[in-house]
Structure 1
């Protein structure tokens, strides 16, 4: 069994003075939700997600040895880095990166030897309700692993991606599901081969053709900042009166959805996914303090989707993250019909009529390797 000790970097085979890498990493949308965590970003229950394709973060990591003759600015700090978001300095993002580096230092001690320039951008609007922390931390983790691979070329591809997911988890739990694979499981589950609380794993079953190139249209009901941070939301599960039942439900639903993804049962898929979305919000509404994250327009959209599905028998459903926006999920073969329904019936409930069309993707992609 893989343990945390397996990811501790011991020695470098090469000396690297400077270079740069660039990776993209996608956001993801959980079908069975992760909500509640233990120490060190360990999930209280397993989760499974679709990796998205178009909603992604693109991050370039440039680095130079601190003792290099190249001028690199201030180098007295343990971790030395500059952060650019869409080409401009972004000071309010730096504490999250600082905390991430602190968490992963024991596994990547070489980070203290370099000054980094982290240049990042999203293909979707910031604060749009898309999980930018998942894609952003995953992209950074991939770049860090490229540096580790340069220092130690003998590491295998399997280890590379596994450790990248492990590192990403320490920055943002759901980020570990954005590293590799179209359907990713995070959290130990008896029915999923190789599943772990430490990193995400690609779904090991044969995914039915019904779910190939599945569509996700994200309706931007509220593009403001989160009402409650993910960290605060997860912490509310510690003394939640329904926590134990919720964790048991997640295990059961993951077993069910595993079978659904293999058999192509769209009706069962809809039942599980919508139940999971509403359960997540129910847990927030019954916590102390409680949070009501849906907006009136969220409920209007949900009711419209249910009515449309009932009348047309088209297998379209919704899911939600911890916010007001709605992910509309449906097979590719009904794409034109569903998009017309969205334009006719749902866009009016979106902030400024904004929505994003996406599909299932395959995880992170290397762009530059220098």
Structure 2
């Protein structure tokens, strides 16, 4: 069984003076949600997610060797311009991963990052951002340690990404990714995400996710605060047990292509996530009136047409509309005619299942 010690880097004999890498990493949307964590970014329950394709962060990491003066040295650019207010989060990430990457203080880094979706869209960019940065750091480590296997490369990248943002570990590799120990998922771990080990049914090939941007404002409650509220939550233990049960059921669904069950589990998980927030102390309602309008419209449309469309939510007001590729035309007509009016400034993003992080040419 892999432990944290397996990711501690030995002293390398190789040195690399300078260079640069460029990786893109996508956002992801959980079907079975993770809400609540233990120390060191360990999830309180396992989760499973679809990796997205279009909503991604593209990060270039340039590095040059320097004397180790006991501190991290980096410049941060967002869309080509200095972004000082992002730096504390990056520094905290580097501090967390230093025990596993002690070579970091031997380099000055220039991190140049951008998102393919608007930064203020209400789509979480921490998962894609931390995953993209972790991939670049592992590319440097691979140069320092050319014997590294591909499996270890991706595993450690997911492990590092998790220390920046828990769900970032699900943005590294695979179209469907499991994070967290689960008895029925071979190789599953609390330390990193793993590609879903079974063959996914053709019903889910190129599954669509249209993201309706209901509220593009700042999050009302940070994810860290939200997760911490599960520590004394009256329903925490039942919720964690429910997640295990739902992941078992979702495993069968993804293998058999049962869309009816997929809809039931996915929507129930979304509403349970928000129920946990509404019943914590302090309590939060992150859905907006238009979120509920959209949900009711989706239910009515599904009942009338029997088209297997459903919704999921993250910890905010935006709605992810999930549906098979073969009903795309009908669903997009429905979205543009009946749902766009509930989006802020009519904004929505069309996306689909992707494959994870990709190295791009500088």
TM range (shorter): over 0.9
Question: Quick check: 1:15–1:151 contact (8 Å CA) kept in 2?
Answer: yes
Q: Render the CA deviation track for 1:307-340: whole Å, top value 9, x for unaligned.
A: 0000000000000000000000000000000000
Question: Is the Cα–Cα contact under 8 Å of residues 13 and 153 in structure 1 kept in the other structure?
Answer: no
In the alignment, the residues of structure 2 paired with residue 267 and residue 128 of structure 1 have an alpha-carbon distance, to the nearest angstrom, of 30
| Cα distance per residue 1:266-306 (max 9 Å; x no partner) | 00000000000000000000000000000000000000000
CA distance in structure 1 between the partners assigned to 2:168 and 2:122 by the alignment: 15
User: Could you tell me whether the CA contact under 8 Å between 1:105 and 1:111 is conserved in 2?
Assistant: yes
Cα deviation, residue 129, structure 1: 2.0
Gaps of 5+ in 2: none
CA contact (8 A) 1:32 1:48 kept: yes
Aligned to 2:186: 193
Counterparts of residues 1-370 of structure 1 (less than 5 Å): 1-67=1-67, 78-368=71-361
- Secondary structure at the aligned position of 1:137 is classed as helix
Hey, what's the Cα distance between the residues in 1 that align with 2:353 and 2:38? 29
3-state SS of the aligned residue for 2:219? Answer: coil
Matched residues, number = 362
Q: Aligned partners of 2:357, 2:60: CA distance in 1, in Å?
A: 13
Q: Which runs of 5+ in 1 are unaligned?
A: 68-74
CA distance in 2: counterparts of 1:323 and 1:76, whole angstroms = 42
- CA shift for structure 1 position 32: 0.2
Please give the per-residue CA displacement for 1:133-153, whole angstroms capped at 9, x wherever unaligned: 000000000000000000000
Query: In structure 2, how many angstroms separate the alpha carbons of the residues matched to 1:42 and 1:247?
Result: 13
Q: Deviations over 1:21-64 (max 9, x none)?
A: 00000000000000000000000000000000000000000000
Deviations 1:73-105 (A, max 9, x none): xx8561000000001111111011000000000
User: Which secondary structure state, in structure 2, belongs to the residue aligned with residue 103 of structure 1?
Assistant: helix
RMSD: 0.9
1:131 deviates by 2.0
1:11 CA drift (Å): 2.1
Structure 1 residue 14, shift from structure 2 partner:
1.6
Q: Distance in 1 between matches of 2:13 and 2:122?
A: 42
Inter-partner Cα distance in structure 1 for 2:224 and 2:304: 40
Structure 1 residue 66, shift from structure 2 partner:
1.3
For residue 70 of structure 1, what is the aligned residue in structure 2? none
Which whole-Å CA distance do the structure 2 matches of 1:249 and 1:104 have between them?
32
Q: Distance in 1 between matches of 2:122 and 2:7?
A: 32
4+ runs deviating over 6 angstroms? none
Distance 2:32 2:302 in 1: 21
Equivalent residues of 2:69, 2:105 under 8 A apart: no
Q: What TM-score does the superposition give when structure 1 sets the normalisation length?
A: 0.97
In 2, the alpha carbon distance for the partners of 1:57 and 1:186 equals 21
